[in-house]
Amino acid sequence: MKRSITFALLLVGLLFGMNTYSQVSRTFWTGANANLSLSKKVDVSFSPEIRLIDDMSIDKLILETDAKIKFHKLFQLGISYRYYRFHDDPGEYFNAHRLGINVRTNIGLGRFKLSNRFYYFHRLINRYNYGYSIETQREFREGIKLSYNIKGSKIEPFIQSEIYFDVSPNETKEFSKIRFRTGIEYPLNKKSSIDLFFQLQDKLNTNNPLRTYTLGVYYNFDIQKAKSKNDSKD
């Protein structure tokens, strides 16, 4: 665990110690996720989060809650709400709300676990710089994650990819963003764990392409441990 933390700190130094280019950005994300199992089929979670940009200033402050319903051993239906305050180009902070619905599929393949997530998000952004206005954004996302349970080790490495499709009103319907992520999940005890990851993100179909490198550190905590260890590996 000490080696993992040391490696993460070195990555932070590399990300923020490099010269900044106009089309490249480096960010650091951190937060926590508290999960409550109401039953074998229903979970709810609360997730505060902070995201920093190149100069270590705050880019986003996020509060999110999520409810997951397992309606089949392989499928989960999720409903989420996110409030966030974010920094935009004019140099001001804006408030936004995001409602989402998703379907998740989890398949166990021996020590491998394959997860697929399909999302729909609807955002309302309040802007004040030129008078009060509300901007509407809508998008679909498709994400695939493959993780591996190493025999005799607590560390569980994973790789993940996600693509965004913009369906916002009065906008061209097209792919807008793609992400690739790799990292590890490390359990601290039976009820908590830490996720460490490195992420690469590219904007698509834009006149100003931007590549973003992100280091993430998240803490996860189960308020009530699920009764069956295999429930999360279905």
One pLDDT digit (tens) per residue for the chain, 234 residues: 544 444 445 555 555 444 444 488 999 999 999 999 998 899 999 999 999 988 888 889 999 999 999 988 889 999 999 999 987 765 677 889 999 999 999 998 889 999 999 999 999 988 665 556 778 999 999 999 999 999 888 899 999 999 999 999 888 899 999 999 999 999 999 899 999 999 999 999 888 888 999 999 999 999 865 454 444 333
DSSP assignment string, 51-102:
EE-TTS-EEEEEEEEEEEEEEETTEEEEEEEEEEEEE-TTS-EEEEEEEEEE
In contact, 44 and 66? CB cutoff 8 Å = yes
Q: Looking at the domain covering 28-194+204-212, what would its CATH class be?
A: mainly beta
What ranges do the domains of the chain cover? 28-194+204-212
Measured CA distances, 205 to 62, 107, 113, 138, 199 (Å): 27, 33, 32, 16, 20
Lookup result for tokens 């009060």:
132
